[in-house]
Amino acid sequence: MITEQQTTQISLKDYLNIVVAKLNFYESERLRSEGYTNECFFNSNGSLTEQQKITLKEKQKYFYIDFGTSGAFMISKEEIKGYPVGSVFNIKGYGTPNFNKWYGVIFELDTKKLHSLRFDYRR
């Protein structure tokens, strides 16, 4: 986790790029541990294919974290409905945050737990 002093030194976008890199690492670990090692999941250099890669997209009010071609999380760029900047939400549909499924502020969340939430369909 990152301290309050460090959050003033790094932008939300820069921090999210670090989070996405960690999420890609955890996804690679998960796939390998489950025996998915072929070219459908990994390129010849060992990186994830485009269909498996976790990406960050920036829109007007939110950053989107997508797992492959599926949306997973939305992170607020501004204070919305009383939730602070950097709030992480599950999605109802792509582009629509589920305010009932708020996970906390990205700077305080454990990245490994965030990765596991992607596969918790009760979320």
* For the chain, domain boundaries: 4-117
Residue 108 has what DSSP assignment? G
The side-by-side arrangement of strands in the sheet containing 70-76 is 54-58, 62-67, 70-76, 87-93, 96-105
pLDDT bucket at 121, cuts 50 / 70 / 90: low
Residue 81 Rama label (left phi>0; alpha psi -120 to 50; beta): left
Q: Which amino acid is at 9?
A: Q
Q: What is the pLDDT of residue 118?
A: 83
Task: Show the tokens assigned to 107.
Answer: 């700077």
CB 49 within 8 A of CB 40: yes
Global confidence as pTM: 0.85
Q: What is the pLDDT of residue 56?
A: 96
pLDDT tens digit sequence for 18-77: 999 999 999 999 999 999 988 989 998 989 999 999 999 999 999 999 998 888 999 999
Task: Show the tokens assigned to 5.
Answer: 């002093």
Q: Which amino acid is at 121?
A: Y
pLDDT bucket at 117, cuts 50 / 70 / 90: confident
